[in-house]
Amino acid sequence: MTQTPGARPETLLITLTGKDRPGVTSAVFSTLAQTHVQVLDVEQIVLRRRLVLGVLVTAPRDWRRLSEAVHRTGEELGMSVEIEPGTGDNRPRPQGRSHVTLLGSPLRPAAMAAIAGRIADAGANIDRIERMARYPVTAIELHVSGADPARLRALLAAEGAAQGIDVAVQPASLVRRGQRLIVMDVDSTLIQGEVIEMIAAHAGCEEKVAEVTEAAMRGELDFEQSLRERVRLLEGVPASALDEVYDSIVLAPGARTLVRTLSRLGYRFAIVSGGFSQITDRLAADLGIHYARANELEIVDGRLTGRVVGEVVDRAGKARALREFAAEVGVSEDAVIAIGDGANDLDMLGSAGLGIAYNAKPMVRDAADTAVNVPYLDTIMYLLGISREEVEAADAAAGIVTPAPPV
């Protein structure tokens, strides 16, 4: 706002920039303490040992004397000082507040410029930027105000796809900070590969099963029909093959870190799979996952019969399981995060407050709230406002050693 020449301002915005070292913030506030000002807002960031400190205060009667004192303090600290007189106090940020998380490997300036441009096009403002991780992907969170989150999500999803980065937009609300339930698909999400194809290798029909699986995941076949067709091919496989399959399973990178870290924070986990309980129940026990639901292979006389027992967990069954688990945990569906990759996950993703397409088929990416296309399941934590530094500190306190980051 325009300041009348010679008039006493209502506020002073004081900005210091320079090399960071202990005592800078203390020195600045000690100088301010010599007058009767009120602190209205403070923001500080350190980037590569460069400090930017912004302080908004009420202006004292002799505000020019304060300005001179702050400049002297800045000189003593070897820092640059800017003081901007203004009118009005610390007004609330505009409505329509969102957390926008960017994941890139690498994250290039052109992508940042494009995302910032689309935010501006939406009439929104970036209030704050924080780094959540620098490896193995770069994760940046933007605090944005002034735009409807749903409109912003659609705008930024398209731009993120064009720039080759992942963009997640979530409304700023208390839900993000409360207890939540995470419901995950298993095959090609929690684990690498498809269990039914691993079992099929023991029956010599892996290629045929893989073709049907791929068509089902693309949504070209009814899931229940395709499942029964594939299981029929497994008739006669020894039940002992399931133990061999389980021993050969490779978890998605970051899966244990995700479950371990969020469980510390009171999150609950569930796995819902179109695969088989003989595998998923063991996975749940191994990882400390609270709930599991999957299909059950029929076994008679130590061999698979080529049939499943009971109701098939299909697309609708996954969504139904999500709702039942949420009710058991005692959280609303808005507090559920669902993660999946195939067409049979669509209803589950749509039922959750946040549906994440993880390295998913195009039709799933288009339908989900956001997509993660990097091969690290623990990047989901960055969408929740948890930084890699916080995760590593918690692990270190528990005696868990993490690999040193690249220099």
* 8 or 204: which leads in pLDDT: 204
Same domain, 354 and 268: yes
**% of residues, the chain, pLDDT over 70:** 95
* 174 or 404: which leads in pLDDT: 174
The answer to whether 293 and 328 have CB atoms below 8 angstroms apart is no
Residue 2 predicted with pLDDT over 50: no
The answer as to whether 54 is a domain residue is: yes
**% of residues, the chain, pLDDT over 90:** 70
Please indicate, yes or no, whether the overall pTM of this predicted structure exceeds 0.85: no
* Beta strand pairing call for 354-358 and 336-340: parallel
Same domain, 268 and 320: yes
Q: What are phi and psi of 104, to 5 degrees?
A: -140, 145
The answer as to whether 288 is a domain residue is: yes
Query: Average of pLDDT values for 91-108?
Result: 84
Question: Token digits for 270?
Answer: 């569930």
Query: Average of pLDDT values for 215-243?
Result: 88
Same domain, 255 and 113: no
The answer as to whether 321 is a domain residue is: yes
Q: Tell me: the pLDDT tens digits for 336-345?
A: 999 999 999 9
Q: Which residues are catalytic?
A: 185, 187
Same domain, 199 and 162: no
The answer as to whether 299 is a domain residue is: yes
Residue whose entry in the numeric block shows the structure tokens 């099929």: 200
Question: Token digits for 158?
Answer: 């398209």
Same domain, 60 and 119: no
Same domain, 267 and 149: no
Other residues' Cβ atoms within 10 Å of the Cβ of residue 380: 22
Same domain, 205 and 318: yes
Q: What's the structural domain count of the chain?
A: 3
Same domain, 103 and 82: no
Residue 354 belongs to a domain with what CATH number?
3.40.50.1000
Nearest C-alpha neighbor of 203 from the set 244, 239, 236, 228? 236
Residue 117 belongs to a domain with what CATH number?
3.30.70.260
> Which DSSP symbol is given to 280?
H
Alpha carbon distance 175, 167 (integer Å): 19
One-letter amino acid for residue 158 of the chain = A
The answer as to whether 43 is a domain residue is: yes
Which domain does 239 fall in, by range?
Answer: 182-368
Of 177, 212, 235, which marks where a domain is finished? 177
236-253 in b/e form (b: 16+ CB < 10 A) is ebeeebbeebeeebebbb
Of 177, 199, 234, which marks where a domain is finished? 177
Residue 107 predicted with pLDDT over 70: yes
